[in-house]
Amino acid sequence: MGLDLQSLNEVACGMVAPGKGILAADESTPTIGKRFDLIDTKSTEKSRNAYRDLLFSSKGIEKYISGVIMYDETLRQSSFDGETPYPEYLSEMGIIPGIKVDMGAKPLAGFPGETVTEGLDGLRQRLEEYRSLGARFTKWRAVINIGEDIPSFTSVSTNAHALARYAALCQEADLVPIVEPEILMDGDHNIEDSFEVTELVLSSVFAELYAQSVELEEMVLKPNMVLSGYGSADQADVNTVAEMTLDCLKRTVPAAVPGIAFLSGGQSNELATAHLNGMNTLAGNRKPWNLTFSYGRALQQPALKAWGGNDENISAGQNAFMKRAKLNGLASTGAYSEDME
């Protein structure tokens, strides 16, 4: 069933294929160390390899997962079933291998409380290597905060410019870029504030993508959903989130983009699924792009807890992972319902 995707547009369309979504398994070593601490498991290269192998070897994963975003370490590791490198292992199942290429969000000089994502230096050479190792797509995450007097114009424009430079370099290297401008939902802002900032950021990102000649047909957008701030006393319901997110996307995202794969951004597993389903139910066949998921914690959290770092629990971990993968796959076509939980 191996991959036979010749063009970047075919890869991008394959990443957002109906009924499937992208597994974000690109946690950095420090981040996955914190996740392992919660299950009282020591984070080592071997234990991280074992956990990623649990996810990637889940039976039937290819039915609901179109692609996997990996961390540098994971891309270079091999499966436990015969030392097959992960890019090859996934490709043989028809799953597209990808790689996170940014170096993380760092403080933006002169603008307290705001960040800019680093990693452009030397990126062209790193992309060449990742392509040779089997990656077919990449990911770069920009982080925008909502707060008093922020985001600033500088924060938005600097991150949008960096995202576009990254995307252009990826396409030059024959890789599909996932463009991820994430507006964090931490804080007590309401959903109207979230809408306003998301509209501003997406508009700025696509203006920069156009200015830097990025082919929109050869990319995937990974945005936040338009939500109430997690600290807000007024939490918008699923229908309101679906309506406002769709309205924001219609205003800002060109129809040429093949698909939108949402980040979960700290939502509960169930809410991330319900919100995705709400958008697909509301939009039906009238949307110009496929709407799917690119979740990390919202796919992995139940699996990590069920596994607990114990080899005897691998099957339980895989079952928990596949349940969430299936439910989100259904949500990406509007076929999910709460009673499936």
Residues with active-site annotation: 180, 222
Rg of the chain (C-alpha set):
19
- Backbone CA torsion sign across 315, 138, 38, 267: negative
Tokens describing residue 100: 């996170």
Identify whether the C-beta of residue 54 lies closer than 8 Å to the C-beta of residue 46.
Answer: no
Residue 148, C-beta contacts closer than 8 angstroms, at least 6 positions apart: none
Report the alpha-carbon distance of residue 35 to residue 50 in Å, rounded: 14
Closest CA to 314 of 57, 74, 45: 57
Identify whether the C-beta of residue 292 lies closer than 8 Å to the C-beta of residue 279.
Answer: no
Alpha helices in the chain (DSSP H): 8-15, 29-38, 45-56, 72-75, 86-92, 123-132, 153-172, 191-211, 238-252, 269-283, 297-307, 314-331
Residue type for 121, please?
A: D
Closest CA to 51 of 66, 73, 67, 22: 73
Q: What are residue 220's phi and psi, to 5 degrees? A: -130, 135
Cβ of 149: how many Cβ atoms within 10 Å? 6
